[in-house]
Amino acid sequence: MTLLRAFIAVEIPLSIRQAIQDQTESLRAALGRGLVRWVPIENMHLTLKFIGDISSANVDMLAQMLTAEAQACPSFSMEVNGLGSFPSPRRARVVWIGIHAPAALTSLQRGIESAASRLGYEEETRPFSPHLTIGRVRQQVSASDQQKVRAALEQTSVGALGTAEVTAVHLFKSDLKPSGAEYTCLFSAPLKNESPR
């Protein structure tokens, strides 16, 4: 049986992804590809729930769950701005762009999280922190490289990148290729007030 690596996410408009690319150009140039694996522009998205490996038979069940949760949430908009890193600037592992979203995003994410756990998927223990991952610092970097990442992050300022209208949530599958991850949308559920596309 073939397993699909699945996650639920919100898409970010291309104009905002392009603005992220433009505003982080100097950061990417300063750190290069040796220290950080940068996320390609087409793969930038806001993950609401990482599901993991599922059988293709479970796609319909997840699609039904997603439809029910999406229909309970009105469409909303969120501001995209700022730059940061997890777990901290001193020990950056993930480089991210910030998202300032209304309570609707948190309640949508909570609804999906608890509905997924009722279907038997493991619940995320860390609190939801909306962000767009733009890069992952490579494993086993030296202390001086870590210092270089921190300095580059401190010297980079990312202002307002735009407002994203959220009108649907999507179930994606991720195929890990030698060239990097490739995402395919398996299903889209419109939020309340939106007609199905």
Query: What average pLDDT does the segment 159-181 reach?
Result: 92
For residue 196, the model assigns a pLDDT of: 52
**110 pLDDT exceeds 90?**
yes
Looking at the 3D structure of the chain, how many domains does it have? Answer: 1
The burial class, CB within 10 Å (0-12 / 13-18 / 19+), for 142 is exposed
What CATH number is attached to the domain comprising 49? 3.90.1140.10
Q: Which of helix, strand or coil describes residue 71?
A: helix
| CB-count burial class (<10 Å; 0-12, 13-18, 19+) for 53 | exposed
Q: Is 83 part of any domain?
A: yes
Q: What is the pLDDT of residue 195?
A: 53
Percent of the chain at pLDDT above 90?
Answer: 81
- Domain hosting 185: range is 3-190
In tens, the pLDDT along 4-33 reads: 999 999 999 999 999 999 999 999 999 987
The residue-averaged pLDDT of 142-152 equals 92
pLDDT at residue 194, as a whole number: 55
